[in-house]
């Protein structure tokens, strides 16, 4: 089944985990900007060097870099029949950029899922993840900054998608399997055939 989907939600909401599961469920690739940036930083690439000064502070990477990464990835053959986008778009300019990419390919988004979780819960999850995974942007200062950036720049995007009639809100509290089931159920009404 083809699905073109965006997964939104605050840092620590479990987006990454759910994005992979949803991609597998629908047989489409998951495209995570955060994962792409982290892989490049780890690999010491030119892109990695350019983005680390932003990611390490919890700030958004400049749009021109981010948009290009996403456009290149969505142009790969495996994304032609659909994708789950995790971590993009994150501000209004990226919404426009994504619209343009899809329009150029004569497609559009089917659904935008917004996972919501209480901010005390997400902070606690991220601090725990910092210990388990050693993600260097999971420090208390950076977490605070990422939550603030989300509230200021990304959360308002939900309204754009509400107005288009494609926003599906999902409660992110609970067991991972439970949240996946909720997500699948929330997405299905938006898929044609
Ligand atoms: P989280 O949602 O848990 O903060 P991500 O893995 O999605 O983590 O993103 C990690 C970092 O990568 C962000 O804090 C930001 O610096 C950068 N980043 C990811 N996606 C984008 C994007 N769409 N635009 C700009 N920067 C981004």
Which spans in 4-62 are helix H?
A: 15-26, 33-42, 46-55
Cα separation, 56 vs 42, in Å, equals 13
Strand partners, 84: 5, 30
Cα separation, 14 vs 86, in Å, equals 10
60 lines ligand 1 (CB under 6 A): yes
90 lines ligand 1 (CB under 6 A): yes
Cα separation, 13 vs 104, in Å, equals 31
Task: Give the model's pLDDT for residue 119.
Answer: 82
> Which tokens belong to 68?
């290009």
Ligand 1 atom nearest the C-alpha of 12 is 3
Residue 55 Cα to ligand 1 middle (Å):
7
Model's pTM, two decimal places?
A: 0.93
Q: What is the pLDDT along the chain (193 residues), one digit of tens a residue?
A: 689 999 999 988 889 999 999 999 999 999 999 999 999 999 999 999 999 999 999 999 999 999 999 999 999 999 999 999 999 999 999 999 999 999 999 999 999 999 999 888 888 888 888 888 878 788 888 888 999 999 999 999 999 999 999 999 999 999 999 999 999 999 999 997 5
**Which residues are the active-site residues?**
15, 90, 129, 135, 146
Task: Give the model's pLDDT for residue 193.
Answer: 56
* Nearest in space to 22 (alpha carbons), one of 155, 187, 154, 161: 187
Task: Give the model's pLDDT for residue 4.
Answer: 97
Residue 9 Cα to ligand 1 middle (Å):
11
10 lines ligand 1 (CB under 6 A): no
Task: Give the model's pLDDT for residue 124.
Answer: 87
**DSSP H or E segment with residue 75:** none
């Amino acid at each position: 089944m083809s699905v073109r989907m965006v997964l939104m939600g605050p840092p620590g909401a479990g987006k990454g985990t759910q994005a992979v599961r949803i991609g597998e469920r629908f047989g489409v690739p998951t495209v995570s900007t955060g994962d792409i940036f982290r892989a490049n930083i780890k690999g010491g690439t030119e892109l990695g060097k350019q983005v680390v000064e932003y990611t390490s502070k919890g700030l958004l990477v400049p749009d021109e870099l981010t948009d290009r990464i996403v456009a290149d990835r969505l142009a790969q053959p495996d994304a032609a029949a659909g994708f789950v986008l995790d971590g993009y778009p994150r501000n209004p300019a990226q919404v426009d950029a994504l619209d343009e990419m899809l329009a150029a390919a004569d497609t559009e988004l089917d659904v935008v899922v917004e996972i919501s979780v209480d901010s005390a819960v997400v902070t606690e999850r991220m601090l725990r993840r910092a210990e388990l995974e050693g993600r260097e942007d999971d420090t208390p200062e950076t977490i605070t900054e990422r939550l603030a950036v989300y509230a200021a720049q990304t959360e308002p995007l939900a309204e754009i998608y509400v107005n288009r009639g494609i926003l599906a809100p999902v409660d992110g509290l609970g067991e991972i399997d439970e949240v996946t089931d909720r997500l699948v159920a929330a997405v299905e009404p938006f898929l044609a055939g």
